[in-house]
Amino acid sequence: MGLPDMQGKGVGRLLFEEVTDKADGEGRRCYLESSGDVPNSRIYERLGFRMVKGIQGDNGGSVCKLYCLIRDLQGLPGNASNS
């Protein structure tokens, strides 16, 4: 899937849904950290995640920005992300 020719064909959605369907069944939220903003955040938002925070990691020289996203539990009444 990391191969450029394989991206954007729906494989990522299928893999994500294996996990997110399980999470919904267990009543759990999902959390991920993305190392890229564009286009990654857009892709994860399409998959039901929302950006909560950007953080900067620094291991004493090299700095890395990480984007933290959460997917709320689906199927709960009153949860705006259910629509």
| Distance separating alpha carbons of residues 56 and 52, to the nearest angstrom | 14
Residue 2 or 77 having the CB closest to ligand COA: 2
- Report how far residue 3's alpha carbon sits from residue 51's, in angstroms, rounded to the nearest whole number: 25
| Site of tokens 């991206």 | 7
Cβ-contact 7, 40 below 8 angstroms: no
Q: Does 81 bind ligand COA (CB under 6 A)?
A: no
CB 78, min distance to ligand COA, A = 23
Nearest residue (CB) to ligand COA, 62 versus 78: 62
Q: Residues interacting with ligand COA, by CB under 6 A?
A: 1-2, 7-13, 34-36, 39-40, 42-43, 46-47
